[in-house]
Chains A and B, each alone.
Chain A
Amino acid sequence: SQTIHQWPATLVQPVGSPLSLECTVEGTSNPNLYWYRQAAGRGLQLLFYSVGIGQISSEVPQNLSASRPQDRQFILSSKKLLLSDSSFYLCAFSWGTDTQYFGPGTRLTVL
Chain B
Amino acid sequence: GENVEQHPSTLSVQEGDSAVIKCTYSDSASNYFPWYKQELGKRPQLIIDIRSNVGEKKDQRIAVTLNKTAKHFSLHITETQPEDSAVYFCAASNGDSSYKLIFGSGTRLLVRP
Chain A positions within 8 Å of B, measured between CB atoms, are 32, 34, 42-44, 46, 49, 51, 57, 90, 94, 97-105, 107
Of chain B, the residue at the smallest CB distance from A50 is B98
Residues of A within 8 A of B100 (CB): 34, 46, 49
Secondary structure at chain B's binding surface: helix, strand, loop or mixed? loop
Of chain A, the residue at the smallest CB distance from B30 is A98
- Let me know if A44 and B103 touch, CB within 8 A: yes
Of chain B, the residue at the smallest CB distance from A44 is B103
- Let me know if B44 and A99 touch, CB within 8 A: no
Chain B positions within 8 Å of A, measured between CB atoms, are 32, 34, 36, 41-46, 49, 89, 93, 95, 97-106
Q: Once the chains are docked, how many angstroms separate the CA of A44 from the CA of B104? A: 8
What distance in Å separates the Cβ of A50 from its nearest Cβ neighbour in chain B? 9
- Let me know if A32 and B98 touch, CB within 8 A: yes
Known contacts A49-B98, A51-B97; decide if A99 and B43 are in contact (CB<8 Å): no
Q: Once the chains are docked, how many angstroms separate the CA of A103 from the CA of B44? A: 9
Q: Once the chains are docked, how many angstroms separate the CA of A107 from the CA of B100? A: 23
Residues of B within 8 A of A94 (CB): 99
What distance in Å separates the Cβ of B59 from its nearest Cβ neighbour in chain A? 14
Q: Could you say which of B49, B98, B105 contacts A99, with CB atoms under 8 Å apart? A: B49
Q: Once the chains are docked, how many angstroms separate the CA of A49 from the CA of B46? A: 19
